[in-house]
């Protein structure tokens, strides 16, 4: 397995880390506190050419490998997890077009999405269909010259800010998951209403909405082939889970780095907190977990580029990295004591932001279902 | 007009440097290296002169970026190419060169390239010598505008505003001329990710001091490098009167 990056990829990571540190990180607290969409950070990523790092060059993307890509996601998440979430939701949308769209649709949408001109959203989840997307109820029925869409979606990241939404609905209500198809819904389509942003625990600089759908779409809005939507969505999520794992590393590493400087400075009685063995062992546990999650993430990223099936690898990386981010951010807050609980420091934000990692793009339980199914299938 | 931007590879400004145990220098093992910040300003200024010329016709038409350094300095040259330089020259030398040796090598590159404007950082954040630009001016006989905070090219002249003690001085130099950059000249852009990928395809020429016919032998020798003395612990005073007394008699600041 090859974990090497090219010189250009290293330079890409370097530049992204710089922008994350100097532009995005200073805005993170503001977006968290005002619960407003992280617009300036997403614009900065657009200017940097970061919104197409998941795409090949032929569609205006950067054409870098998944290892480098996950390092960029990690850097952004370490600076501002909300921004990373808005960015990776955009990747879910463009990956949907890349994997499921016709050549014409790819040419139409991807270059402008990669350049940062257009922002995307990915709408799969419904109030009654989260872990079980095949049970979705939203429908598309053929109407003269197009489709009538009825139903609802919820918890959709970027939905209102997006220039296009990749919408997954059923075109055949009786065909189970084989009846799901994807549609391109441009901004301004009549008949879509958005809730106000949901109030959430973390990722407060990234907005999620409920959508009520009663709209008409032209024939050409069908993304790729009818009935292929579920396969596309699952393949997109396989890819996306590597990015969630990378986000986990970013938040966890930010928490660990904050802890390393804190324990040296904080005096407890006669000596710094770092001089107590309880602290040292905690730091070692945090690091060991982070590095195991990092290796799994790198493995999933390398596998993703190899062309082999990588569902097992990405589910394992996502499970372990998301759980470890929960442990590490909590341990980091604990090392900071009351200061960690105060909103003056970002430790409590790390805890809140990390909590979503065990839920979206498949909960930890869903990852275990994917993992165990792959194991049992392989040994049947 | 051809512009030569000169850059140095140095320890990244975010890195806390450590002195080697034998005091022979700074430990560079596994340390992040970057383009000297003043050199980033030099590259940015060259790129702006070229962007200006695209809009207004005829200031900078080609930017050549040059670095005297080890093979790994290709990374910093690629960064400069990503920022907008057209081609790069590495004069490869693994030695720790003095400012004069660097200036001599740059002079050889100037002879070869015949640029109208040479832009350098005013100093490198590792050695802090602040003399390479001046030495290059002496070797080439060109005019120099050091510590530039503003640069304007008009016809065969360049007007440079210099940051000097207590104010600004404006000088007009006939081209070809040499400029060294100060902090306020501009705010360098970030290298965009697509431009980083494209920089790979831009030409990068590797030369050697021997090929340029320059001897880099030095008359200087570094004897010792030491870390700054550790700050000693502060003391607590009992009263304002005592504080004022100490500021007067010990610190001698009031
Ligand atoms: C901040 C945020 C952003 C989001 N962004 C998007 C987005 O952009 N696009 C989008 O489509 N969706 C998005 N979602 C939705 C997200 O993907 C879902 O919330 C997630 O998949 C879980 O679904 P659910 O909320 O319906 O939970 P449920 O499916 O109701 O799960 C409840 C609990 O049951 C467990 N469970 C479910 N099935 C099983 C089982 N078979 N065995 C054991 N346990 C099980 C789950 O693990 C969980 O613990 C977002 C959600 C949030 C909170």
Q: Which residues of B touch A50 (CB under 8 A)?
A: 193
Q: What is the mean pLDDT of residues B91-110?
A: 95
Q: Which residue is closest in CA terms to ligand 1's atom 6?
A: A156
| Residues contacting A368, CB < 8 A, separation 6+ | A319
Q: Are the CB atoms for A233 and A96 separated by under 8 Å? A: yes
Ligand 1 atom with the smallest distance to the CA of A153 is: 11
pLDDT the model gives residue B54: 64
A361 assigned to active site: yes
Q: Domain A121-227, CATH 2.40.110.10 — does that match?
A: yes
How far is B98 from chain A, CA to nearest CA, in Å? Answer: 28
Pairing, β A164-170 against β A120-123? parallel
pLDDT the model gives residue B95: 85
* Multiple choice CATH, A230-378, 1.20.140.10, 1.10.260.40, 1.10.101.10, 1.10.1040.10: 1.20.140.10
Query: What is the pLDDT confidence band of residue A380, given thresholds at 50, 70 and 90?
Result: confident
Higher per-residue pLDDT: A1 or A21: A21
Q: Which residue is closest in CA terms to ligand 1's atom 4?
A: A155
| Residue B92, strand partner residues | B69
Whether pLDDT at B58 is above 80: no
Query: What is the pLDDT confidence band of residue A281, given thresholds at 50, 70 and 90?
Result: very high
Q: Whole-prediction pTM value?
A: 0.93
pLDDT the model gives residue B30: 92
- The alpha-carbon radius of gyration of chain A (Å, integer) is 21
Whether pLDDT at B119 is above 70: yes
Contact A64 B75 (CB under 8 A): no
Query: Domain ranges in chain A?
Result: 7-119, 121-227, 230-378
Residue B101 parent element (H or E)? helix B99-113
What percent of chain A stands above pLDDT 90?
98
CA A313 to chain centre: 17
Catalytic residue among A126, A161, A323, A361: A361
What chain B holds in terms of domains, given with CATH numbers, is: 2-249 (3.40.50.620)
Take residue A172 and report the two structure tokens written for it: 């055949």
- Residue of B33, B84, B193, B201 best to disrupt the A interface, most CBs of A under 10 A: B193
How far is B139 from chain A, CA to nearest CA, in Å? Answer: 35
Tens digits of per-residue pLDDT, A339-377? 999 999 999 999 999 999 999 999 999 999 999 999 999
pLDDT the model gives residue B219: 84
Q: What is the DSSP letter of A81?
A: H
First-last CA distance in chain A? 26
pLDDT the model gives residue B229: 87
Take residue A131 and report the two structure tokens written for it: 């872990």
Q: What is the mean pLDDT of residues B123-132?
A: 95
Pairing, β A139-143 against β A120-123? unpaired
Q: Is A131 in the pocket of ligand 1 (CB under 6 A)?
A: yes
Q: Are the CB atoms for A266 and A273 separated by under 8 Å? A: yes
Q: Which residue is closest in CA terms to ligand 1's atom 17?
A: A360
Ligand 1 atom with the smallest distance to the CA of A364 is: 47
| Residues contacting B176, CB < 8 A, separation 6+ | B114, B115, B116, B117, B118, B140, B142
ipTM of the complex: 0.92
Task: Count other Cβ atoms within 10 Å, centred on residue A144.
Answer: 7
Ligand 1 atom with the smallest distance to the CA of A125 is: 11
Measured between alpha carbons, how far is residue B106 from residues B47, B73, B97, B146, B214 in Å? 20, 16, 12, 17, 10
Q: What is the mean pLDDT of residues B72-85?
A: 97
Q: Is A360 in the pocket of ligand 1 (CB under 6 A)?
A: yes
Tens digits of per-residue pLDDT, A47-91? 999 999 999 999 999 999 999 999 999 999 999 999 999 999 999
Tens digits of per-residue pLDDT, A291-348? 999 999 999 999 999 999 999 999 999 999 999 999 999 999 999 999 999 999 999 9
What percent of chain A stands above pLDDT 70?
100
Q: What is the mean pLDDT of residues A102-117?
A: 98
Take residue A100 and report the two structure tokens written for it: 């499921």
CATH of domain A7-119: 1.10.540.10
Interval between CA A278 and ligand 1 midpoint (Å): 36
């Amino acid at each position: 397995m090859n974990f090497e990056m090219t010189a250009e990829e290293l330079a890409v990571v370097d530049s992204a880390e710089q922008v994350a540190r100097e532009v995005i990180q200073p805005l993170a607290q503001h977006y968290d506190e005002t619960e407003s969409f992280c617009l300036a950070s997403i614009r900065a990523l657009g200017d940097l050419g970061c919104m197409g790092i998941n795409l090949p060059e032929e569609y205006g993307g950067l054409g870098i490998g998944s290892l480098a890509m996950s390092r960029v996601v990690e850097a952004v998440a370490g600076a501002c997890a909300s921004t990373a979430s808005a960015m990776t939701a955009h990747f879910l949308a463009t990956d949907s077009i890349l994997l499921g769209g016709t050549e014409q649709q790819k040419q139409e949408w991807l270059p402008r999405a990669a350049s940062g001109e257009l922002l995307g959203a990915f709408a799969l989840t419904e109030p009654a269909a989260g872990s079980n997307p095949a049970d979705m109820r939203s429908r598309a029925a053929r109407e003269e010259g197009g489709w009538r869409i009825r139903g609802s979606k919820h918890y959709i990241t970027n939905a209102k800010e997006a220039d296009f939404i990749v919408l997954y609905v059923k075109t055949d209500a009786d065909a189970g998951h084989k009846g799901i198809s994807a549609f391109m819904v441009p901004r301004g389509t009549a008949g879509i209403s958005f809730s106000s942003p949901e109030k959430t625990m973390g990722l407060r600089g990234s907005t999620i909405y409920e959508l009520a759908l009663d709209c008409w779409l032209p024939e050409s809005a069908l993304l790729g082939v009818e009935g292929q939507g579920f396969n596309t969505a699952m393949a997109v999520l396989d890819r996306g889970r590597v990015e969630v794992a990378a986000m986990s590393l970013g938040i966890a590493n930010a928490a660990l780095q904050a802890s390393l400087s804190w324990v040296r400075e904080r005096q407890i009685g006669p000596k710094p907190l770092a001089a107590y063995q309880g602290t040292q062992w905690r730091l070692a546990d945090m690091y060991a977990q982070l590095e195991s999650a990092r290796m799994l993430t790198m493995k999933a990223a390398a596998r993703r580029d190899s062309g082999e099936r990588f569902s097992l690898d990405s589910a394992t990386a996502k499970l372990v990295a998301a759980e470890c981010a929960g442990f590490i951010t909590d341990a980091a807050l604990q090392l900071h004591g009351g200061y960690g609980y105060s909103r003056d420091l970002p430790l409590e934000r790390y805890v809140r932001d990390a909590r979503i990692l065990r839920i979206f793009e498949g909960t930890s339980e869903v990852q275990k279902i994917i993992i165990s199914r792959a194991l049992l299938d392989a040994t049947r | 007009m051809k512009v030569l931007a000169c850059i140095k590879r140095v320890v990244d400004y975010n890195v806390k440097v450590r002195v080697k145990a034998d005091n022979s220098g700074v430990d560079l093992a596994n340390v992040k290296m970057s383009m000297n910040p003043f050199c980033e300003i030099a590259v940015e200024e060259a790129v702006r002169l070229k962007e200006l010329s695209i809009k207004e016709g005829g200031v900078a038409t080609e930017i050549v970026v040059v670095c005297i350094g080890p093979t790994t300095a290709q990374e910093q040259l690629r960064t400069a190419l990503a920022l907008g330089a057209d081609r790069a020259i590495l004069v490869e030398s693994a030695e720790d060169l003095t400012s004069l040796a660097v200036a001599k090598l740059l002079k050889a590159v100037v002879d070869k390239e015949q640029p109208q404007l040479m832009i350098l950082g005013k100093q490198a954040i590792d050695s802090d010598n602040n003399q390479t630009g001046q030495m290059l001016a002496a070797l080439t006989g060109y005019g120099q505008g050091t510590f530039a905070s503003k640069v304007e090219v008009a016809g065969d002249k360049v007007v440079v505003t210099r940051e000097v003690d207590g104010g600004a001085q404006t000088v007009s130099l006939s081209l070809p001329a040499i400029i060294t950059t100060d902090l306020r000249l501009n705010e360098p852009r970030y290298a965009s990710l697509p431009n980083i990928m494209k920089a790979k395809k831009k030409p990068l020429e590797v030369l050697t001091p021997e090929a340029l016919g320059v001897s880099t032998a030095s008359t200087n020798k570094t004897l010792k490098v030491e870390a700054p003395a550790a700050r000693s612990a502060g003391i607590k005073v009992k009263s304002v009167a005592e504080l004022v007394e100490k500021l007067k008699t010990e610190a001698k600041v009031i």
